[in-house]
Every structure is written in structure tokens, then in C-alpha cells.
Chain A
Amino acid sequence: MATRIQVAQVGDVPDGEAIVVSKAVTGTVDDIALFHDAGEYFALDNTCSHELASLADGWIERGVVECPVHTGRFCLRDGKVLSAPATENVAAHVVEVEGDSILIVPNVERLALS
């Protein structure tokens, strides 16, 4: 079973913003962006599937992150690509909030081989 990793406290990520959780912490092949959108938290692979860009620096609104470089848009819930120029989805990870703790359950398909 995948491990749950505590990555932040409630309040660490303001609404409409995101933080980058290093892959060294999550054990994944890519860093993970932890997004806060209107009281909900979401986690996606941080690297845009189009060209090199950090989705954590994107514009976060109504369940969507818009890439900070070329405006490719991704669903925060499942990482599905919503508009060009991106053509591929990004991987989504499970986020759980327990008390004040925000935990990520890394997507098993994105675990780095140790």
C-alpha cells in the first residue's frame, strides 16, 4: 500500500496558491504541486506536460490550473488536459486532510524506482 506523506499544514498554502513538494520527499519521479483552490486541496505532478514549466506557478481558479508559460490548462482533480498547447494529461495524486495536516498519497504509477 502506498504511503501517506505529510507535506503541509492547513494554512500553509493560501487559497489560489500552490507549493512545490520535492520528489525527494514524495519519492516520485516528478516534484508534486499541492494546490489550494477555494478550500480544497489537490496534487498534480508539477511539470507541465507541454514544455518545461512549474504548474505550481500557474493560475489556479475554479478547479483548473493554467500553465504559467503557454496557458495549457489542467483539471486539478484528475490532471486531465483541458486545452492546447498541452496534449497530455499530468498525473494526479490523492490528497487527504486530517485535522491540520495535509497528506499526499503518491500515485503508485509515479513512484521512482529505488
Chain B
Amino acid sequence: MTGVPQSVVIVGGGLAGYTLADALRRHEFTGRITVIEQEPALYDRPPLTKAAFVSDATLAELEFSTPQQLRAQRVDVMCGRAVVSLDKGVLLDDGTVVRGDAVVLATGGRPRMLPFRGNDAPIVHMLRTFSDAQRIKTAARPGGRILVVGAGLIGAELTSSLRALGVHVTLIDPVEVPLVPAAGESVARRLHEMHGEHGVDVRVGSILEVAERDGEYTALLDDGSYVSVDAVVVGAGIVPNTELAESAGLTVDGGVVVDERHSAGDGFYAIGDVARVLGSDGVLRRREEHWEAAQHDAEELAAVLVGKEPATRSAPWWWSDRYQVHVEGVGRMTGSGVTILRSPHVAFHLDDGLLVGAVSIDDSQTVRAARRIIDARIPVDAADLADPSVSLRDLLRSSRALAGS
């Protein structure tokens, strides 16, 4: 395909799909935009483990945009519809065929189930959609007992929300301190300790079985212990939804393989959780599963589709909210270089005089400054990073002032 497409069909209306539609209109793309989404609305998922879970938010409160706004933007949204084939246009499960010069796969992922006995019991849940959250909420009565399997972002945030609702939670993960690759050892440890401080029964290990006897459910753990449960929630990562791409003959390798401009070939593109970039250096990168990465993919593809040069990608950023604290991180906290601890709540990763990562608990300003320092490749001193009295924002500003002078 050469030139700007006349019509764009977006398969999947999560953050990546919605942002693409919105960004195309911001770029004054005038062609037809169709978003096809299996869920009943285009909505934001991160609140499902956090505020929205605790407060019983409605689906409408999580929508990226109102149906009226989408109509005003001339974005055709088809919710509650699945795509069954991409062979001759985009074929929906009701027989409708939607055609587009560009077809964008923003199909995301589905939660990964773990292979324990009884994982198909009705009390075993995973959390990805609004209705998943509602089902878990039904079991989240004060005094109820829920086993959360996996203490990554989803499991940890849900555990915090369950505690806020007065649920007794057992949290199990095979790793003694989860999130080390993202948050670094020290901050990850501090975060994981919070579970115990909030009355969570924290275990290291895995689940072997869920069994029912006389309407009562029990989970068997790999240390031989039994936990009585009203529900089990598995938060063990996602599996990318690549089936459509595979059936269309696109290259799939742990995700839909795309180039650095998000093209999968033949007028197909992929963005967000489902996409995996094959760099121009020939290296197949890891899929980025964070919220903002999906947003950035969409912004970049919108620019590509209208023939503009995308903005330079910023260092990857993520966040987590739990137990009334806000955690965020940017870049990498592992790999070559050294970790520098500023406080129990703030850490950096420094590689050869360049900042490559930062993480904080309740100090987002430091991470926002760090991000700009990382992106601009501003050299920093380990001593300055370690000193809480040295503001990273001041370092950034003085460096910018020097560069501008």
C-alpha cells in the first residue's frame, strides 16, 4: 500500500485500538475508521483491579469516550462483535464484511490459565475484562476467603483491593520477591512486604489443585498445605490473541511480528499487547505489555498511516496503585549497570554514566524527571542520584539550560 489509506479497520477497541482512532482524527485523517470490539464498550482496563473494583464503577465510567463523542469524531464502533476471518475483508461473526485499505490488529491478550487440577471449577477466575471483575467482586464479600495466584501487577493490585473490602486473602507466587525485573530488588521487596503488613497471608509456591467437597472448596498448595477458599483468582500474565493473524498467514512468533513502523505486511498492522517488534537490527524484541506502550504504538501508527514521522519513543513507563501508594517506573532496573538506592522508596539504574531506569513509591516527580533525563541521555553522577536532597528535576533543568545557552 502506498499513500494514505482511505479507510482503516481496527480489530480491537482496547487502549491501542481506541487511541489509534482518536489519533487518526487528531491528525485530520478524513477516511473511514471502523473499530470492532468483542466487549460491550471501548474501555480502560487498569482500574478493574484498583479503584473501579473497590467502588463498583460502572462500565460507562471506564469508557475512553462517550458514544456521542465517537459519533462526532466519525468513528464507527461495532461492539459485541467478533472477527472470525481476515481472508476477504474483515469478516464478523454475524456475517458482516468490513473492508479497509489498512487493517490494524489490536486484539490484545487473554489471561494465561495455570495447569492445576480443578482449574475449570466455577470459583476459579482470571481478570481481564469488566465482567471478569464483576464475577470476582461477587465473591469478594467481607470475611470471604480468596486465594490470589500470582503476585505481579494484577495479583498484587487485586489483593490490595480485596483487603480494602475486608476479604481474607492468601497470595501465592513461586518467586519470593516478584517484580524485581521492573522495580529492582529493593523497591520490589518493599512493595511485596506491604501485603503482609496489610494482613495478607503471603506464600511462596504454587497451586496444585482446587477441589470441591459438599459445596466447599479447598486449594492444595505445593507445600502440602490446604487453604479453604470461596474463590481463586489467577494472575499469571497473558497470552497474545494471535489466532486471526495466524489464519491470515501473517508472521507470528510469541506475538504478531511487525516492523518498527508496526506493519505486519500486506496492509496489515499490529499494535499493543498482541504486537511484537522485529527491529531493523534483526532482533525480535519482547512484547511490551504495559498500558502506555499500547498508547504509544497507536500514536506512532497513526502518524505512519497519515504519512508523518512518528515522535521518538520515550523510555517505557509503567505504574501500579496499591495500599494507598502510587508506584511507577521507567526504563530498566536490571541488566548491565548498577542500581543506586536513593531511599527505601526510590531507586535508579545507572549504566556507564547514563541513567537507564528509575522506580519510586509515591515520588512520581522523580520518575518523570528521570524519564526525561533518560530520553535526552543526560549524563548523571551516581552521588547525585543517591542524595535525596538533589532534585532530579533541578538536574534536568540545569542541563537543559546549559544545552540552550
Contact = CB atoms under 8 A, between A and B. Distances in A.
Contact of A85 (B46, B368, B369): B46
B397 A59 contact: no
A43 B321 CA distance: 27
Given A16-B393, A59-B368, A71-B317, A84 B15 contact: yes
B338 interface: no
Interface string A57-92: 101000000101111000000000001110100000
Contacts of B368: 59, 66, 68
A29 B178 CA distance: 42
B44 A68 contact: no
B393 A69 contact: no
A68 B19 CA distance: 21
B295 interface: yes
Interface residues of A, number: 13
A84 B64 CA distance: 7
B47 A51 contact: yes
Interface of B: 15, 18-19, 44, 46-47, 51, 63-65, 292, 295, 317, 319, 321, 326, 364-365, 368-369, 393, 397
A85 B44 contact: yes
Contacts, number: 36
Nearest to B15: A84
Contacts of A16: 393, 397
A84 B44 contact: yes
Contacts of B18: 84
Contacts of B63: 87
Nearest to B321: A69
A71 to B, nearest CB: 7
30 contacts: A16-B393, A16-B397, A51-B47, A51-B51, A57-B364, A57-B365, A59-B364, A59-B365, A59-B368, A59-B369, A66-B368, A68-B326, A68-B365, A68-B368, A69-B319, A69-B321, A69-B364, A70-B319, A71-B292, A71-B317, A71-B319, A83-B295, A84-B15, A84-B19, A84-B44, A84-B64, A84-B295, A87-B63, A87-B64, A87-B65
Q: Which secondary structure dominates where chain A touches chain B? A: loop
Contacts of A70: 46, 319
A70 B19 CA distance: 16
A94 B47 CA distance: 33
Contacts of A66: 368
Contacts of A85: 44, 46
Nearest to A85: B44
Given A69-B321, A70-B319, 14 more contacts: A16-B393, A16-B397, A51-B51, A57-B364, A59-B365, A59-B368, A66-B368, A68-B326, A68-B364, A68-B365, A69-B364, A70-B46, A83-B295, A87-B65
A85 B19 CA distance: 10
A83 B44 CA distance: 13
Nearest to A84: B64
Nearest to B317: A71
Nearest to B44: A85
Contacts of B319: 69-71
A61 to B, nearest CB: 8
Shortest beta-carbon contacts, A-B, top 6: A59-B368, A68-B364, A85-B44, A69-B326, A51-B51, A84-B64
A84 B63 CA distance: 10
A91 B279 CA distance: 43
Nearest to B368: A59
Q: Which of B19, B63, B368 has the most CB of A within 10 A?
A: B368
Contacts of A83: 295
Contacts of A87: 63-65
A51 B52 CA distance: 10
B366 to A, nearest CB: 11
Contacts of A57: 364-365
Contacts of A68: 326, 364-365, 368
Contacts of A84: 15, 18-19, 44, 64, 295
Nearest to B19: A84
Interface string A1-45: 000000000000000100000000000000000000000000000
A85 B62 CA distance: 9
Nearest to B362: A68
A93 B64 CA distance: 26
A85 B369 CA distance: 20
Nearest to B292: A71
Nearest to A51: B51
A68 B360 CA distance: 12
Contacts of A69: 319, 321, 326, 364
